[in-house]
Structure formats: C-alpha cells, structure tokens
Structure 1
C-alpha cells in the first residue's frame, strides 16, 4: 500500500542542483525555506497549493511535481526557431491541383 500524506514520494525525484526532492515533505520544506520575496511569487504559491492539495486531499503526485517544475522554470523563455516551418509559397503544385 502506498504512503499517505506528506510522506508520499514523487515518481521521479526533482533535482535542484545537488539536492533531490524525493517526498512531498521535502518539496514543502524547500519552498518554505525560500526567501520571503521569492516565496511570495505566484508560481511558488500555486506550487505550494498543489502540494497541500495532493498531500492532504490525495491525488496523483504528478500535480505537485508539475507545480514545482513550473515555478522552478518560470524564467525560461523558449527560443523561437525561425526556420521551423517553410512558407507555403513557391512550392510546386500537385498535378491534381492544376
């Protein structure tokens, strides 16, 4: 039987530098140890809310993991690849379209 409450483990531990968040309790302690200014950021507040909901209400630990990963990567901006798609003009038409 799986553990209940704050002792539940993530399916994949969250690696932060040389530290690993293995349980919900580890993640909660990490968030509460953040500086107050960073702790008040909406992404961390949402992550903590997801942690509490999973720990006390049940549900998949993946929800809490997603919240933490979103808060950790909140400054990441995906790079736009301008050559991702070719424009449609200049291509030959098919025989059926002529």
Structure 2
C-alpha cells in the first residue's frame, strides 16, 4: 500500500546543495527553515501550497516536486536569444545562379 500524508516520497529526490529532499516532510522543513524574506517569496509560497495539497489531498508528488524546483530556480531568468540560428534559406546558391 502506498504511503499517505507527509511521509510520501518524491519519485526522484531533490538535491539542493548538500541536502537531499526525499519526502514531502523534508521539503516542507526545508522551506520553513529558509530566511523569512526568502520564505515569503511568492514562488516558495506556491511550492508550500503544492506540498500541502499533495500531502493532505493526495495526488501525484510530481506536482509538489515541480513547485519546489521552480521556487529553487527562481533567481535564474532564462533569456530569449533572438539571434539563434539563421534560417537556411538565402545562403545556398543554386548552380544556375552562379
């Protein structure tokens, strides 16, 4: 039978620095141990809500895992590179155009 509540394990443990978050309780304790300013960030609050919903209401632990990882990665902003790859058209010349 599967575990219920805060003792449920993540499918893949979350590695944050030296610590490893294996259960929902581990993740909840990690979030509550954060400094107050960081703990009050909307991303961490959303992660805590996801943990509570999964622990008390059931559902896949992947939702809570995604919430924690998104909150942990919040300072990193991915930038869109508009240059990217150049399109293939316009570079190749046909033999008849030489």
Normalized against structure 2, the TM-score is what?
0.85
My pick for the range that moved more, 79-88 or 5-14, is 79-88
1:41, 1:32 → 2: CA distance? Answer: 12
Of the structure 1 ranges 28-37 and 81-90, higher mean CA displacement relative to structure 2 is found in: 81-90
Q: CA shift at 1:93, angstroms?
A: 8.8
Asked if 1:52 is matched to 2:44, the reply is no
Q: Supply the distance in 1 between the matched residues of 2:70 and 2:53 (Cα, whole angstroms).
A: 17
How many residues of Structure 1 are paired with residues of Structure 2 in the alignment?
94
Instruction: Let me know the Cα RMSD of the aligned residues.
Output: 2.0
Structure 2 unpaired stretches of 5+? none
Shift of 1:57: 0.1
Q: Write the deviation string for residues 26-84 of structure 1: whole angstroms up to 9, x where unpaired.
A: 00000001111111000000000000000000000000000000000001122544553
Residues in 2 aligned to 1:38 and 1:77: alpha-carbon distance in whole angstroms:
17
Consecutive unaligned residues in structure 1, runs of 5 or more: none
Q: Which residue is equivalent to 2:38?
A: 38
Partners of 2:49 and 2:65 in 1: CA distance: 12
C-alpha separation in 2, matches of 1:43 and 1:76: 13
Secondary structure of the corresponding residue to residue 84 of structure 1: coil
Q: Counterpart of 2:74?
A: 74
